[in-house]
């Protein structure tokens, strides 16, 4: 049995208007680390939007590296992280050669290839090509296969797809790429996983107008290409770990659980009253996975409240001193 922790959308350095959230982020990342330790997690998937901006602050960068060192159990618990639409591809992959020695693998470009070989912790990269890695970890004899789908920028879309019907080409090319990788590498003798930072819906379902939170940069209409279908995920996959949407939910159970883990904190008032989570997955070769969301409790909650009388508002505020509130 392999235990996996799925998290996403950390948005390190994010502010709520003029208010910094860095201390709350320290608390909630420590909470995630504690969950990984308590659950004896073997592998961590971080599904994009690691930072909140292309040029993160020194504080945010320092918090990431310190947190990943602890989350990786000093190199003994591998972490695979992809870039999201808030991340700079160059910035995310810059520390990769050093990070790999700690069992942390950053992946941000569709043409990147993770080097094969064994690192000091015993993790071995068995097969690797663009958008895919197969590896083994100490204590587990079965191989783990991971299809990697970082966010594609408008520039990379032009590079890969050229002109024409970009929406159709985008979906077709990604679907064929993922299917080809799965057909060549992903049989039932290993654990097969997908990790992506895109907007996924069930084909035929309307796109909700409020799907993306206020704090998120919309990716639904970069050339009309970004809404993908869950049916494009290869049938060999046992779990799809997604990032981008900030609320926890399973989009579909076919071809496998297709799950957004949520952001660790509420980052806009459109996320008021949402429960924030990480997901623990238990996986075996050739069997459906089981997965359990675990609620995160650290950080300030966000509320939207309305009152008719000033005294009612004051009483409510006295009872909720540790929060951010949009009060009408």
Q: Give the pLDDT score at 120.
A: 85
Distance CA 111, CA 225 (A): 19
Q: Give the pLDDT score at 223.
A: 39
127 phi, psi to nearest 5 deg: -130, 145
Q: 92: pLDDT confidence band, cut at 50, 70 and 90?
A: low
Q: pTM value?
A: 0.90
- At residue 185, does pLDDT exceed 80? yes
- At residue 216, does pLDDT exceed 60? no
296 phi, psi to nearest 5 deg: -95, 135
Bridge-partner residues for 201, per DSSP?
A: 229
Q: What angle do CA 124, 141, 189 make, to 5 degrees?
A: 105
Count the helices and strands in the chain (H runs, E runs): 7, 20
Q: Give the pLDDT score at 218.
A: 52
Instruction: Kindly report the average pLDDT of the chain as a whole number.
Output: 88
Q: 221: pLDDT confidence band, cut at 50, 70 and 90?
A: very low
State what percent of residues in the chain have pLDDT above 70: 87
C-alpha separations of 3 from 74, 99, 135 in Å? 18, 22, 15
- How confident is the model over 270-281, as a mean pLDDT? 93
- How confident is the model over 93-104, as a mean pLDDT? 76
Q: Give the pLDDT score at 42.
A: 96
DSSP-assigned letter for residue 222: S
- At residue 222, does pLDDT exceed 60? no
CB 132 within 8 A of CB 148: yes
Q: Give the pLDDT score at 173.
A: 82
The answer to whether the peptide bond before residue 255 is cis (omega within 30 degrees of 0) is yes
Question: What is the bridge-based pairing of β-strands 117-118 and 227-229?
Answer: unpaired
Q: Give the pLDDT score at 102.
A: 84
C-alpha separations of 274 from 51, 52, 248, 264, 280 in Å? 21, 20, 9, 10, 19
DSSP-assigned letter for residue 115: P
Assigned CATH class of 2-297? alpha beta
CB 197 within 8 A of CB 147: no
Distance CA 164, CA 263 (A): 35
- How confident is the model over 63-73, as a mean pLDDT? 94
Both tokens assigned to 161: 């797809």
Q: 213: pLDDT confidence band, cut at 50, 70 and 90?
A: low
Q: Does the CA dihedral 264-268-269-271 come out positive or negative?
A: negative
Per-residue model confidence as pLDDT tens digits over 132-146: 999 999 989 899 999
Greater confidence, 305 or 101? 305
Give the number of residues written for the chain. Answer: 328
Q: Give the pLDDT score at 224.
A: 37
State what percent of residues in the chain have pLDDT above 90: 67
Biggest CA-to-CA distance, the chain: 67
- How confident is the model over 122-133, as a mean pLDDT? 93
Greater confidence, 86 or 34? 34
Per-residue model confidence as pLDDT tens digits over 4-17: 999 999 999 999 99
- At residue 251, does pLDDT exceed 80? yes
Distance CA 62, CA 321 (A): 29
Distance CA 277, CA 290 (A): 16
Residue with tokens 């009309």: 224
The domain ranges of the chain are: 2-297, 301-328
């Amino acid at each position: 049995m392999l235990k996996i922790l799925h998290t996403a959308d950390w948005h390190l350095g994010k502010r709520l208007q003029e208010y910094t959230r860095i201390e709350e982020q320290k608390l909630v990342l420590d909470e995630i680390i504690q969950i990984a330790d308590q659950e004896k997690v073997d592998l961590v998937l971080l599904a994009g939007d690691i930072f909140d901006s292309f040029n993160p602050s020194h504080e945010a960068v320092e918090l990431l590296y310190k947190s990943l060192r602890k989350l990786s159990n000093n190199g003994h618990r591998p972490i695979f992280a992809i870039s999201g639409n808030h991340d700079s591809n160059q910035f995310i992959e810059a520390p990769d050669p050093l990070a790999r020695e700690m069992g942390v693998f950053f992946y941000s470009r569709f043409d990147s290839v993770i080097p094969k070989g064994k690192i000091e912790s015993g993790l071995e990269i068995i097969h690797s090509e663009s958008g895919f890695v197969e590896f083994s970890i100490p204590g587990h004899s079965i191989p783990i296969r991971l299809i990697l789908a970082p966010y594609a920028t408008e520039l990379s879309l032009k590079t890969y797809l050229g002109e024409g019907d970009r929406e159709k080409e985008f979906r077709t090319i990604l679907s064929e790429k993922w299917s080809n990788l799965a057909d060549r590498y992903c049989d039932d003798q290993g654990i097969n996983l997908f990790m992506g930072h895109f907007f996924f819906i069930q084909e035929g379902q309307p796109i909700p107008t409020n799907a993306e939170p206020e704090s998120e940069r919309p990716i639904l209409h970069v050339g009309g290409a970004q809404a993908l279908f869950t049916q494009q995920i290869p049938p060999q996959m046992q779990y799809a770990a997604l990032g981008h949407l900030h609320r926890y939910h399973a989009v579909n159970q076919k071809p496998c659980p297709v799950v957004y883990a949520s952001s660790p904190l509420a980052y806009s008032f459109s996320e008021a009253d949402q429960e924030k989570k990480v997901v623990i997955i238990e996986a075996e070769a050739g069997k459906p996975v089981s997965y359990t969301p675990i609620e995160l409790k650290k950080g300030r909650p966000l509320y939207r409240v309305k009152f008719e009388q000033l005294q009612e508002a004051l009483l409510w505020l006295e009872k909720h001193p540790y929060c951010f509130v949009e009060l009408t």
